[in-house]
A and B are shown apart, each in its own frame.
Chain A
């Protein structure tokens, strides 16, 4: 049996929440209330005494009626995405297959929830259709208790709040959840949710949460440039340390026909029209049109104003002129055809390599993270996620129709270790085993859901129906890479984590660090970005392709100022300052 030490979960109690409130769901119950039956009453009295909204009063009243039959579980109706996963046999499995089939994973989730007195009623929509369905249903008036907010733009969200359709989640955990949950969201890791506070001081949605830990240090993972190490080895080249060496290596790949197909077609993929391509970070640039000046500063700027930007464009122009760039920015043809020398991905990934088609007898494909010094006094930066990271793409919200008290109990479950473990690793003895206190996923199984759990989190999380709670043990993750033989891939990651303070970093995503935009900010941003996004990605592309001249630099900057670049930075800055 092949085993893998899991990247995901080590149940470090101190990390998830306060020590006292921790432990399994059962013990948590006994700390907050004397008996499980009494717990509801306790929650109810808290609610009654602290009610501020009419909705809460109603819920309290509703609770009294259901108390006559305490065994009757509350139904929470969810509008969500029918997410799919591909198992290791290549079968595509949908969440609805789990729900309607005999999935042990789903049965466990359902029975856990039933213990909390909750039954989920799902309205699952195919992924490609979800945006349309949710937008149109909002237009017609939502009828659900909880929904996946993917595809609901910020303007519409603001309006849902204004119309009183979305319920303030913070009031729910305040009034209906147990102490540990409250603590998790207010002072624990979950407190990143508070960044999404609206002007009225409330939070209206929950994001998936990833807490990365490397020996006690909270650390994110890197998504940056990666190079074909097996090609470097084949040509006896060292890993490039400077951009000049990188240029030489990329050129050597072509001139020496490293993939051996007789054509000089080895190319690097670094998107011309954006700064988020790994190469721009060699020149110290942020990843987005608006970025932080450096990782630890609170000051926002734009890569266009940063020192390295001209050198970056000139370097890219060199690559372009030498025919070293992959110009097809979408599609994965070059990678699959064994032509892609450099691209951007997570430094710990191992899933791209199997998709590359190599001739027989070639060394195994191996993409390895690199960072190159441009050699002009500018320090390269590493694009890294925030250590406590909330994914801005997959948020869920609750409606005011929902039974707030039941949602409170649902939050208790969603913040529990029990849920985190089930979502990340599954069921002990079924999808994972514990060896020497370490969780090891079972990889070679005929059962589809076991296969899925060996590579993915449970299908109900992320872009599906429930938020994710991931505790990522970075060290275990690297150990597992080593164990699988990815030595070269592991090295730059290990070096970064071990010598964290000596690296210059940049934030992978700026928008996730900002407070929710106000209505006016939303409107201004989208007005500005409408033309500015087009302008800057086109300009960047044409400068690199030499179709526009670097001599007119000042006029380009002036154009961008006219289109509102400075105002956009100001808006982002104001939003960031509000999170403080």
Chain B
């Protein structure tokens, strides 16, 4: 790496400018997270105004204390963890199988299959028919509703297929000559070579599962199995009501009371729930380098 870089040095003044530009980019992206952090540490009244820019105004760990004691949040954390693990394993498995099929040379009905995969990327039946289906399958109000419908991803199939194209035919042919069947070619050739793309798919799935809440809102009416993001959204949204629109005195009083107590809590919550993904991300980053490139190209 170092060698390559040395070759390309140019005007040092411009180099400095480029460093400054990169530093500025890091600042404008890091600052909001820092901003959320200092809000979460400020006294609730200041947090409510959102006008704390450089340093916490006052110091108050109350929100974090409440969070740590929040049994519902820990439960939601555990649920999200469960969904992340299950979905990652399932998505990688199901998508690999189809991608392998598509890369099989003598596949009958390839055109039809391609169309079959393509259409759902643009057309869907909408919320109600989906809901009726989940109901009929008995998945409503069950954690499986977060796992089974999310157990595949057409986009990921396309990515893996593109990656598999880079595997030379000669390897497959050689395996076949050695007497390998359909299954053996998969396990002996494609699976070992496909590791980088599996890592990419895994990361995508982890991030999207971690951040998803919409399906949970529709299919999980009770908090027992709800994921973290829905819990987070609850805290965030309930305090974003406009008081003047509330047409009932008890509700107005309640909204005013929540305004202060929630202001700080919601920021602490953001910090708390983003941490695992943010902390884990640099670790995943390594796997991206190989897989992402190869997976997204056609040649």
Residues of chain A whose beta carbon lies under 8 Å from any beta carbon of chain B:
84-86, 90, 92, 123, 125-129, 132-133, 136-137, 139-140, 221, 269, 271, 277, 329-333, 336-337, 343-346, 349, 351-352, 354-355, 357, 391, 393-394, 455-457, 462-463, 508-509
Docked-complex contact B238 and A344, CB < 8 angstroms: no
Docked-complex contact A140 and B132, CB < 8 angstroms: yes
Docked-complex contact A333 and B50, CB < 8 angstroms: yes
Hey, what's the 0/1 contact readout for B38-61 against A, CB within 8 Å counting as 1?
000000011011110000000000
Docked-complex contact B260 and A128, CB < 8 angstroms: no
* A333: contacting residue among B49, B131, B257, B261, CB under 8 A: B49
- Known contacts A125-B221, A329-B242; can you find 19 more A-B pairs with CB under 8 A? A127-B238, A128-B234, A128-B238, A132-B217, A136-B131, A139-B128, A139-B131, A271-B244, A333-B48, A333-B49, A333-B51, A336-B45, A343-B244, A346-B252, A351-B252, A351-B253, A351-B257, A391-B247, A455-B253
Docked-complex contact A332 and B218, CB < 8 angstroms: no
- Closest A-chain residue to B234, C-beta based? A128
Hey, what's the 0/1 contact readout for B124-143 against A, CB within 8 Å counting as 1?
00011001100100001000
Docked-complex contact B237 and A128, CB < 8 angstroms: yes
Docked-complex contact B254 and A456, CB < 8 angstroms: yes
Hey, what's the 0/1 contact readout for B103-134 against A, CB within 8 Å counting as 1?
00000000000000000000000011001100
Shortest beta-carbon distance, A310 to chain B, in Å? 24
Docked-complex contact B251 and A462, CB < 8 angstroms: yes
Q: Given the complex, which residues of A lie within 8 Å of B135, measured CB to CB?
A: 140
Given the complex of chains A and B, what is the CA–CA distance between A337 and B49 in angstroms? 6
Docked-complex contact A352 and B256, CB < 8 angstroms: yes
Q: Is B297 an interface residue (CB 8 A)?
A: no
Docked-complex contact B257 and A132, CB < 8 angstroms: no
Given the complex of chains A and B, what is the CA–CA distance between A84 and B249 in angstroms? 15
* B233: contacting residue among A128, A137, A391, CB under 8 A: A128
Q: Given the complex, which residues of A lie within 8 Å of B253, measured CB to CB?
A: 349, 351, 455-456
- Closest A-chain residue to B140, C-beta based? A140
Given the complex of chains A and B, what is the CA–CA distance between A128 and B262 in angstroms? 15
What are 17 residue pairs bridging A and B, where the CB atoms are less than 8 Å apart in the complex?
Answer: A92-B258, A92-B261, A125-B221, A129-B234, A140-B135, A140-B140, A271-B244, A332-B259, A333-B49, A333-B51, A336-B48, A345-B252, A349-B252, A355-B259, A355-B260, A391-B247, A457-B250
Q: Could you say which interface size class chain B belongs to?
A: 35 or more
Docked-complex contact A345 and B261, CB < 8 angstroms: no
Q: Is B223 an interface residue (CB 8 A)?
A: yes
Q: Given the complex, which residues of A lie within 8 Å of B248, measured CB to CB?
A: 391, 393-394, 462-463
Shortest beta-carbon distance, B171 to chain A, in Å? 50
Q: Is B3 an interface residue (CB 8 A)?
A: no
Docked-complex contact B218 and A136, CB < 8 angstroms: yes
Docked-complex contact B257 and A86, CB < 8 angstroms: yes
Q: Given the complex, which residues of A lie within 8 Å of B240, measured CB to CB?
A: 330-331
Given the complex of chains A and B, what is the CA–CA distance between A455 and B249 in angstroms? 11
8 A Cβ contacts from B1-31 to A = none
Shortest beta-carbon distance, B109 to chain A, in Å? 35
* B218: contacting residue among A85, A132, A329, A336, CB under 8 A: A132
Docked-complex contact A344 and B244, CB < 8 angstroms: yes
Q: Given the complex, which residues of A lie within 8 Å of B252, measured CB to CB?
A: 345-346, 349, 351
- Closest B-chain residue to A221, C-beta based? B249
Which 6 pairs between the two chains have the least Cβ-Cβ distance? Answer: A86-B257, A351-B253, A90-B261, A357-B45, A351-B256, A136-B131
Q: Is B243 an interface residue (CB 8 A)?
A: yes
Q: Given the complex, which residues of A lie within 8 Å of B233, measured CB to CB?
A: 128
Q: Given the complex, which residues of B lie within 8 Å of A345, measured CB to CB?
A: 243-244, 252
Q: A128-B234, A139-B128, A456-B254 are in contact. Are A133 and B247 (CB under 8 A)?
A: no
Q: Given the complex, which residues of B lie within 8 Å of A508, measured CB to CB?
A: 247
Shortest beta-carbon distance, A164 to chain B, in Å? 20
Given the complex of chains A and B, what is the CA–CA distance between A330 and B240 in angstroms? 8
Q: A127-B238, A129-B217 are in contact. Are A136 and B128 (CB under 8 A)?
A: yes
Given the complex of chains A and B, what is the CA–CA distance between A221 and B46 in angstroms? 32
Shortest beta-carbon distance, B143 to chain A, in Å? 16
- Closest B-chain residue to A462, C-beta based? B250
Given the complex of chains A and B, what is the CA–CA distance between A343 and B244 in angstroms? 8
Q: Given the complex, which residues of A lie within 8 Å of B256, measured CB to CB?
A: 351-352, 354-355
Q: Given the complex, which residues of B lie within 8 Å of A137, measured CB to CB?
A: 221
Shortest beta-carbon distance, B193 to chain A, in Å? 44
Shortest beta-carbon distance, A211 to chain B, in Å? 14
- Closest B-chain residue to A271, C-beta based? B244
Shortest beta-carbon distance, B223 to chain A, in Å? 6
Shortest beta-carbon distance, A122 to chain B, in Å? 11
Query: Which of B46, B240, B244, B251 has most chain A Cβ within 10 Å?
Result: B244
Q: A140-B131, A391-B248, A457-B250 are in contact. Are A330 and B217 (CB under 8 A)?
A: no
Shortest beta-carbon distance, A259 to chain B, in Å? 13
Q: Given the complex, which residues of B lie within 8 Å of A394, measured CB to CB?
A: 248
Shortest beta-carbon distance, A291 to chain B, in Å? 15
Given the complex of chains A and B, what is the CA–CA distance between A277 and B222 in angstroms? 38
Given the complex of chains A and B, what is the CA–CA distance between A132 and B140 in angstroms? 13
Query: Which of B128, B243, B253, B259 has most chain A Cβ within 10 Å?
Result: B243
Q: Given the complex, which residues of A lie within 8 Å of B251, measured CB to CB?
A: 462-463
Given the complex of chains A and B, what is the CA–CA distance between A345 and B132 in angstroms? 43
Given the complex of chains A and B, what is the CA–CA distance between A271 and B45 in angstroms? 24
Q: Given the complex, which residues of A lie within 8 Å of B258, measured CB to CB?
A: 86, 92
Q: Given the complex, which residues of A lie within 8 Å of B234, measured CB to CB?
A: 126, 128-129
Q: Given the complex, which residues of B lie within 8 Å of A84, measured CB to CB?
A: 254
Given the complex of chains A and B, what is the CA–CA distance between A140 and B127 in angstroms? 12
Shortest beta-carbon distance, A156 to chain B, in Å? 12
- Closest A-chain residue to B237, C-beta based? A128
Given the complex of chains A and B, what is the CA–CA distance between A333 and B263 in angstroms? 11
Q: A136-B128, A351-B252 are in contact. Are A336 and B259 (CB under 8 A)?
A: yes
Hey, what's the 0/1 contact readout for B223-247 against A, CB within 8 Å counting as 1?
1000000100110011010111001
Q: Given the complex, which residues of A lie within 8 Å of B237, measured CB to CB?
A: 128
Shortest beta-carbon distance, B112 to chain A, in Å? 33
Shortest beta-carbon distance, B131 to chain A, in Å? 5
8 A Cβ contacts from B164-221 to A = 217-218, 221
Given the complex of chains A and B, what is the CA–CA distance between A351 and B255 in angstroms? 10
Shortest beta-carbon distance, A382 to chain B, in Å? 17
Docked-complex contact B127 and A136, CB < 8 angstroms: yes
- Closest A-chain residue to B136, C-beta based? A140
Docked-complex contact B48 and A332, CB < 8 angstroms: yes
Shortest beta-carbon distance, A385 to chain B, in Å? 9
Given the complex of chains A and B, what is the CA–CA distance between A329 and B244 in angstroms? 9
Shortest beta-carbon distance, B227 to chain A, in Å? 13
Given the complex of chains A and B, what is the CA–CA distance between A277 and B249 in angstroms? 16
- Closest A-chain residue to B220, C-beta based? A129
Given the complex of chains A and B, what is the CA–CA distance between A86 and B252 in angstroms? 12
Given the complex of chains A and B, what is the CA–CA distance between A329 and B243 in angstroms? 10
Given the complex of chains A and B, what is the CA–CA distance between A393 and B250 in angstroms? 13
Q: Given the complex, which residues of A lie within 8 Å of B238, measured CB to CB?
A: 127-128
Given the complex of chains A and B, what is the CA–CA distance between A176 and B50 in angstroms? 55
